[in-house]
Structure 1
Amino acid sequence: MTAYDQAELAQALLSEIGDALFFLDPDTDRLLEVNPVALRLTGFSRAEVLELPATHLFRFESSGGAQRLKGAFSKTMVFHGQDGFLLRTKDDNWLPVSLTVSRLHLPPKPLGLIIARDDRDRRAALAQARRVEAELRTVLGSAPGALWSAERTPGPDVFSGWQFRYVSPQMADIAGRPGEPYEHPFKWAEAVHPAEREGYRAAVRRLLAAGEDLEQLYRVQQPGGAVRWVQDRLRLVRDGGGRPLRLDGCLTDVTARRDAEEAVRQSEQRFRALVEKSRDGILLLDERAVIRYATPAAKFVLGFAPEDVVGVDLLSLIHPDDVPGAARRLGASIGRPGEDVPATLRMLGARGGTRLVEMNAVNRLDDPSVCAVVVNYRDVTERDAAVREVAKQHTLLEGLFASVPDVVCYQDRDGRLLGCNPAFEAFAGRPASALAGTRCEDAFAGEWVPRIVAAQQVVLATGRTERSKEWVTYPTGRKALLDFAIAPLRDDSGAPVGLIVLGRDVTEQNRLEEELRQSHKLEAVGRLAGGIAHDFNNLLTVVLGNLELIRCGAATGADAEELLASTERAAKQAAELTKQMLGFARRQPLRTASVDLNQLVRDSLVLLRRTIDARIVVRFEPAPHLRPVAADPVQLQQVLMNLCLNARDAMPEGGTLTVETADADPPDGPEGKRFVRLSVSDTGVGMTDEVREKIFDPFFTTKGVGQGTGLGLAVVYGVATAHGGSVEVASAPGAGSRFDVYLPRGAVSDDDRSPTRAEGANEFPRGRGETILVADDETGVRDLAKVALEMSGYTVLVAADGAEALDVFHRAGGRVRLAVLDASMPKLSGRQVFEALRRVDPELKVLFASGYHGGGLLPADDLPGTRRLNKPYVPTQLAAAVREMLAE
């Protein structure tokens, strides 16, 4: 079975159907769409007709019809084809139409469909037929001969169940029984002379059994005893299956031959009326293909009057290129009685144009005394043009489908591929012919495949469109992020019969969005820099001042120990500030973990309070026993920072900034999913409804030039939705603002329940004399590490850069058990030294010591035999890390 694109089929049906189509909203009676036939019939433009209510275009010829039509619009939307309606045109004329009203069940709501069929031709033909019938009845009623026709009705056998359809009044006159009805042909036998009655009945039975025409002469006895001789001609008409359908008869008073001649004339007129009313052109040719008779339809097909073509050679009216084929067909028809020879050819019109004509039949007449041919043809010029236009549109749509840069395919309900575009072929690495009938799990490999297959099952079960972003690898090796949209493919009734899968490459878009978030993050870091620099200088003042007091001997004994303890505390505070700034500015993808939101807020507020105006009171109201959230802690910290800095800017004269946490679900949240709420509120200037509708739009800001990028709240919204959460806003001018960020709950882990081990134990873990290589370009750090490790019982080799580290390692002759490498060193980075050392000793353990993990200076976190130690560190931390690694 050929699979057709539903959109193409719908477009072809809308454009090519011969009836006027009106699509409307059943609730408002407003027209939504019309097809070209509707515009041609009414004379309105599309814009004009869509401004009119549907009931304005239609009325019923008799009372009550308009109400029935309105009722159909507003209630059932079912109104089968009925005549008697009129369609309004632009010039306020009314065209007779036949209407059908139905309901189209389409999302998001049902549509009403009115089908209007132009009834002018049918009415004209019906009126003409009625006139002809009236004329025939008048003529038959006044004719001397008696004609009748009986139809077959249900009965036990072929000899019963006949009912007169038409009985000439002359039958009663001939029988001498005016006004006496004759329900069926066998009842007429009661008027036949008794001596011939059984013969009449037997002849009729033979006719019904054999089917041959019957003509018999018998007497009719009138009630007064008078006898009239009649000539009875009977003819049996059968249906397509050969079963008796109709019985026609003609009674002629042979005493008046004029009656019989009149009956023949009437029969000829009826035949001529049927022929001349045909839409097809009919020509009678002699054996030389010269036209002897032409029906009026020839005038419409060729533009000639029938009398203008009589005596003309038919071949002279055919296009010269088609004459040889037409001549062969005509010759074959004349030589083979009863053979149909179909043909499609061009005929020359009266005005010099050509018309495409379909010649349906070329038959020789049955009368052997007449050597003639009947040619039946119809004009198919418009139909051929329509077919060509449909083919052109199909080619255009195929070209558009092929030019779509997105990956597109459509499947049946079982997930088997039915068709795809060239972009999908490139994605799969195979042509469509090789992919036909395959499923996603058969054609592709990767961890994203099961998720897409599961989404397809959801679409088939629910009928809704599913989306998913997946990293995929092309056959060329290129990795790309595809935004998949999986939608149902529906049939005419709206039932899902398959799937449409579209994948858009958003790799570059994702990169730009990540750079945008990083840019705004750095902007926030810059805004924090002033406060951080102030605190950092204070801490350095404490460190430098205490050391100078000890160095110059101003403090000794217990006083010196207190100064050293104060120096250590200040250094640790400086290290914590550096850690927070690096963590906040780090550029990394979404890494979801189970996060203690209360602790994250506390740590962030320590950093934030340094940039807040002293006139602003910062309050934190944590919920007790708060469930953890499933989130990226770095991005979550950025959300909190952006909201708090926006709140600060909204209170230029001071106020209260409140941060709250709670176990709460968002309004209209998904069923079965629980959330944690982070709320940031202020007592600032607030927002109008117009501003509130735009706050999450990128680059929208109410601040002056140079005071903001308009990205802060866009980043908040993006991070929340990326985590599967949402953001709610409440604000009013003069009443402040409140932002509620809902994040999905995470699982409670053992790490969340147990306290963390205190950093910096006072005891040095002891080694067993192993040889350790320390490489760091900072002399103070290198010397500190050497002294700390030698105090722990290790043999220490040192190097001032990456190249020297390799040289020292090679000269050690395989004695080095562990290397402590700085990330950034001259000549060779820590990563380059690590790769070179591992090529020599794949089992060598490496401890990376660095204050910054970005820039690709370090290898992946999960490499076996490696660990990281963040700077700044104290000697006991270094010794503990080395001991643990050597003991593994």
Structure 2
Amino acid sequence: MTAYDQAELAQALLSEIGDALFLLDPDTDRLLEVNPVVLRLTGFSRAEVLQFSVTYLFRFEAAGGTQRLKGAFTKTVVFHGQDGFLLRTKGDTWLPVSLTVSRLHLAPKPLGLIIARDDRERRSALAQARRVEAELRTVLSSSPAALWSAERAAGPDVFSGWLFRYVSPLLGRIAGRPTEFFDHPFKWAEVVHPGEREAYRVALRRVLTGGGDCEQLYRVQTPDGGARWVRDRLQVVRDAAGRPTRLDGCVTDVTEQWAAEEAVRQSEGRFRALVEKSRDGILLLDERGTVKYATPAIKFILGFAPEAVTGLEAFAFVHPDDVSATRKRLAYSLSHPGEDVPATFRAIAADGGTRVIEMNGVNRLDDPSVRAVVVNYRDVTERDAAVRELAKQHALLEGLFASVPDVVCYKDREGRFLGGNPAFEAFAGRPAADLAGLRCDEVFADEWAVRMRAAEELVLATGRTERSKEWVTYPNGRKALFDTVVAPLRGDDGATLGLIVVGRDETEQERLEDALRQSQKMEAVGRLAGGIAHDFNNLLTVVLGNLELVRCGAATGPDAAELLLATERAAKQAAELTKQMLGFARRQPLRTAVVDLNALVRESLELLRRSIDPRITIRFVPEPELRPVAADPVQVQQVVMNLCLNARDAMPDGGTLTLETTEADPPSEAGAVRRFVRLSVSDTGTGMSEEVRAKIFDPFFTTKGVGQGTGLGLAVVYGIATAHGGLVEVTSEPGAGSRFDVYLPRGIASDERAGFRNEVRTDFPRGGGETVLVADDEAGVRDLARVALELSGYNVLLAVDGAEAVNAFQKANGQVKLAVLDASMPKLSGRQVFEAIRRIDPGVKVLFASGYHGGGLLPEDEPPGTRRLNKPYIPSQLAAVVQEMLTGA
């Protein structure tokens, strides 16, 4: 053997080996030598590499790799061909490598050797293999059949040692179980239907013990107890000795196919039964038109036995007047295959009567061995009569639809008009045919049309009926109050096909209801009039008497001052009483404000005490810290008046009338958190029966005698409560009195109820010499206003009527800064004067001072730059309001 120099041999191995070699001192972790492969892989020079530590050059992709590398140089930890390491390159990138670590026992000390093999190609090949495998699994999983494959390892018999290589996820879905359930091929037997499980196992045993491939049709049982039909194909691969080494399975869900085939089988059976039992008939004719076969239906229809018509001409029992037309229709059908045009004719029955027969489905048999024609026919006598009746009903419904006074139209699911009745055409101002295909907001320009479109979309989305009431404008400009209902238009299957819209013009009804409410309110005023007149006369007695004592000198000095003070108090009480009566009797729409319910009840009781029988004790139990309500104060006062007067009438011999306020929610609002304030009015009167209690809120229902009531009191109470978003509940029994609970929605607390007394001032504010016009047809009021304003330093112009006021304003040539106008004056009202002087000077300020604000004598709203001062007023009040308006304070 040739002797080689060991040093040269080692150097050759180090240089020529294809892996990267790192020789290092295991104690210091410093590199001693590397081969050229290291320099090629890393891009470092030999000098650069030898400056690095091993832990700098290598890192492990998972945690703890560095410690494993260091420990490999001990005697106890060694590893070879370890993947997952990375080698640093000069560009600070990392190359995947697999490492083999060895310990070289050399003198004078052991050294470490790291062999790093470039792992990029292997990893690339592995990634490619995984991609191919993933793609293959995707292809297999998308197959309509569940595929699986299993291999057999060593085992004592052919039934052991089997493991899956692949299982399609579809296999688990067919069985209704997760794929992990099938941990070996024979686990599938557990999901086979119990009635077929043994047969499945026998077939499987035959395949494994020498039989060939097999195919089975059986059921599998799902966890919910259901069953699915599958077709199972099983193939076996054997080794040279004939032992099975691989099983490939293909399971196909054929439940729908099996059901369809079963349905066909059942359908054939049913068809045979139906042909024999059906009342629709079939005739088999030869080419000459002779009956060769007739189903039993001819017995039911015409009364002939099938064998009795066999051999007869097919038209033997057709009415003579219809024979010619029937022959032509039969010939046409035979010469135009595929055109199934029914023909109706009259047939003569066995009893001599006639029946209406519909002939359809005329076809030649395609079988060349049988030259015949099949004719289907049906008795439509009743249907023909029903069609004629339906036509009459349709005409009737069309007439009814046209006569409905409400606006009715119908639309498709896109909200496009399809048609409507004459009332709809009158409302739209155009024929319904011209509106077909248009939407509501494309026909009507009003804002309500946009809201209507939104309501239609809501109905289509939810299937619920929507209802609204609002003012709309006709094409001719007339405004009307419409109660509109938008409902889904459904088909026979319940699906929403479109919309039906019904609108009712309730303008006149609203006017009548308003008139009835006002009439009932005035009835209550009339019932209060006696007591109010008594108190008003008492107050006038105090005023006139005290003034006479002062005027004649009977009272002087301090006594006269005391009498004048008493006179002032009596006059203020009379003014407050007049203010309450005017407010209660005023006709006005619902004006919601945040009000103190306790204060409203107290004001109402001040009026009521004058007309309540002294034998009736009135108790008011207010909740001290009651939250305010969001309500119209005038209408709430009417509720109190109506309930208290109703209670008074229920106690003709006296009793106790109790009013209570508290925060409480009605039982129907269970779960709500104190959203309502409750006013309770109870009495100890006669009470009501169940029958009466069920009708008390009906308009015009009353238990009083003729001329003692309109029957609107409680109906108005109910209407006011519901208009505010509240409700009324009543409890009563005969002889046990009655209790009415009125629930009103809570409002946000605010101080909006400044009374007459809070407006009174005792000082006279000083003005800046501005010119003020005072127009009032009452001389005493004019003089009082002039004195008050002149004392405050204003220049005052006076006018005795509306026309004189406008002339005086014009002559002042822009000097008038503020006008004090009465509402009711001769020639021109306060509103007319306001409009005239605002045309002259749009910036002039106007103070409306009047004891009555109704009848259109004043503007409905409060225009900018205006205020209102209720009569009666005192001089200091007038001067203070004028100063505030002129200075803006």
- Where on the TM-score scale, by shorter chain, does this alignment land: which range? 0.5 to 0.7
Residue aligning to 1:521 = 521
Q: Would you say 1:551 and 2:569 are equivalent positions?
A: no
Distance 2:664 2:540 in 1: 44
Relative to structure 2, which stretch is displaced further, 620-629 or 275-284?
275-284
Question: Which string of whole-angstrom CA distances, capped at 9 and with x for unpartnered residues, describes residues 856-884 of structure 1?
Answer: 11112232222222111112222222222
AA partner of residue 540 (structure 1): L
After TM superposition, the structure 1 = structure 2 runs for residues 529-568 of structure 1, keeping only pairs within 5 Å, are: 529-568=529-568
Distance 1:782 1:505 in 2: 49
Contact 1:428 1:474 in 2 (8 A): yes
Compared CA separation, residues 679 and 383, structure 1 to 2 (3 A):
closer
Distance 1:296 1:728 in 2: 70
**TM superposition score normalised by structure 2:** 0.61
Distance 2:837 2:633 in 1: 34
Contact 1:365 1:373 in 2 (8 A): no
SS in 2 for 1:610: coil
Residue aligning to 1:696 = 697
SS in 1 for 2:609: helix
How many residue pairs align between the two structures? 622
**How far has the Cα of 1:730 moved from its partner?**
2.9
Residue aligning to 2:831 = 831
Contact 2:281 2:297 in 1 (8 A): yes
Distance 1:358 1:469 in 2: 56
Distance 1:479 1:509 in 2: 14
**How far has the Cα of 1:822 moved from its partner?**
1.5
Q: Would you say 1:735 and 2:736 are equivalent positions?
A: yes
Question: Which string of whole-angstrom CA distances, capped at 9 and with x for unpartnered residues, describes residues 543-593 of structure 1?
Answer: 112222222222333333222222211111111010010011111111111
Question: Which string of whole-angstrom CA distances, capped at 9 and with x for unpartnered residues, describes residues 52-108 of structure 1?
Answer: xxxxxxxxxxxxxxxxxxxxxxxxxxxxxxxxxxxxxxxxxxxxxxxxxxxxxxxxx
Residue aligning to 2:109 = none
Compared CA separation, residues 746 and 419, structure 1 to 2 (3 A):
farther
Contact 1:294 1:307 in 2 (8 A): no
Distance 1:328 1:611 in 2: 93
Distance 1:538 1:770 in 2: 42
Contact 1:315 1:327 in 2 (8 A): no
Question: Which string of whole-angstrom CA distances, capped at 9 and with x for unpartnered residues, describes residues 599-642 of structure 1?
Answer: 11122212221122223222222111110011110010011111
SS in 1 for 2:661: strand
Residue aligning to 2:327 = 326
What stretches of structure 1 of length at least 5 have no aligned partner? 1-155, 162-239, 246-270
Residue aligning to 2:815 = 815
Distance 2:439 2:282 in 1: 55
Question: Which string of whole-angstrom CA distances, capped at 9 and with x for unpartnered residues, describes residues 124-159 of structure 1?
Answer: xxxxxxxxxxxxxxxxxxxxxxxxxxxxxxxx99xx
Distance 1:707 1:633 in 2: 27
Question: Which string of whole-angstrom CA distances, capped at 9 and with x for unpartnered residues, describes residues 737-765 of structure 1?
Answer: 3222111111113547x999822212223
**How far has the Cα of 1:410 moved from its partner?**
5.7
Residue aligning to 2:577 = 577
Compared CA separation, residues 328 and 583, structure 1 to 2 (3 A):
closer
**How far has the Cα of 1:499 moved from its partner?**
5.9
Contact 2:481 2:507 in 1 (8 A): yes
Distance 1:564 1:808 in 2: 36
After TM superposition, the structure 1 = structure 2 runs for residues 654-693 of structure 1, keeping only pairs within 5 Å, are: 654-669=654-669, 671-672=671-672, 674-693=675-694
Compared CA separation, residues 500 and 749, structure 1 to 2 (3 A):
farther
Contact 2:340 2:361 in 1 (8 A): yes
SS in 2 for 1:702: coil
Distance 1:824 1:790 in 2: 24
Residue aligning to 1:724 = 725
Residue aligning to 2:508 = 508
Distance 1:489 1:345 in 2: 35
Distance 1:311 1:565 in 2: 125
Compared CA separation, residues 588 and 471, structure 1 to 2 (3 A):
same
Residue aligning to 1:706 = 707
Compared CA separation, residues 733 and 280, structure 1 to 2 (3 A):
closer
SS in 2 for 1:475: coil
**How far has the Cα of 1:282 moved from its partner?**
2.8
After TM superposition, the structure 1 = structure 2 runs for residues 140-539 of structure 1, keeping only pairs within 5 Å, are: 279-280=280-281, 282=283, 284=285, 314=315, 317=318, 320=321, 323=324, 326-327=327-328, 330=331, 333=334, 342-347=341-346, 349=348, 351=352, 353=354, 355-361=356-362, 363=364, 377-390=377-390, 392-394=392-394, 396-397=396-397, 399-408=399-408, 421=421, 423-424=423-424, 426-427=426-427, 465-487=465-487, 501-539=501-539
SS in 2 for 1:710: coil
Residue aligning to 1:228 = none
AA partner of residue 646 (structure 2): N
Distance 1:618 1:463 in 2: 52
**How far has the Cα of 1:533 moved from its partner?**
0.8
* Two-structure CA RMSD over aligned residues (Å): 4.4
Compared CA separation, residues 551 and 312, structure 1 to 2 (3 A):
same
Question: Which string of whole-angstrom CA distances, capped at 9 and with x for unpartnered residues, describes residues 180-229 of structure 1?
Answer: xxxxxxxxxxxxxxxxxxxxxxxxxxxxxxxxxxxxxxxxxxxxxxxxxx
Compared CA separation, residues 868 and 699, structure 1 to 2 (3 A):
same
**How far has the Cα of 1:354 moved from its partner?**
6.5
Residue aligning to 2:851 = 851
Distance 2:426 2:627 in 1: 47
Question: Which string of whole-angstrom CA distances, capped at 9 and with x for unpartnered residues, describes residues 455-508 of structure 1?
Answer: 678767876655433222233322222334455566667677876554333222
Compared CA separation, residues 375 and 873, structure 1 to 2 (3 A):
closer
Question: Which string of whole-angstrom CA distances, capped at 9 and with x for unpartnered residues, describes residues 304-332 of structure 1?
Answer: 78768967694994665772673485389
AA partner of residue 479 (structure 2): K
Distance 1:434 1:549 in 2: 84
**How far has the Cα of 1:767 moved from its partner?**
2.8
**How far has the Cα of 1:670 moved from its partner?**
5.7
Distance 1:622 1:386 in 2: 71
Compared CA separation, residues 686 and 786, structure 1 to 2 (3 A):
same
Compared CA separation, residues 383 and 491, structure 1 to 2 (3 A):
closer
Contact 1:775 1:822 in 2 (8 A): yes
**How far has the Cα of 1:365 moved from its partner?**
9.5
Distance 1:728 1:401 in 2: 40
AA partner of residue 344 (structure 1): A
Contact 1:284 1:291 in 2 (8 A): yes
Compared CA separation, residues 330 and 341, structure 1 to 2 (3 A):
farther
Contact 1:724 1:744 in 2 (8 A): yes
Residue aligning to 1:615 = 615
**How far has the Cα of 1:702 moved from its partner?**
2.9
What stretches of structure 2 of length at least 5 have no aligned partner? 1-211, 218-259, 266-271
**How far has the Cα of 1:838 moved from its partner?**
2.6
Distance 1:790 1:805 in 2: 18
Contact 1:338 1:365 in 2 (8 A): no
**TM superposition score normalised by structure 1:** 0.61
Distance 2:630 2:284 in 1: 86
**How far has the Cα of 1:400 moved from its partner?**
3.9
Contact 2:409 2:418 in 1 (8 A): yes
Distance 2:622 2:278 in 1: 92
Distance 2:722 2:438 in 1: 35
Distance 2:879 2:389 in 1: 84
Compared CA separation, residues 314 and 473, structure 1 to 2 (3 A):
same
Distance 1:303 1:757 in 2: 103
Percent identity over the alignment is 68
Question: Which string of whole-angstrom CA distances, capped at 9 and with x for unpartnered residues, describes residues 790-817 of structure 1?
Answer: 2222222222222222333333334333
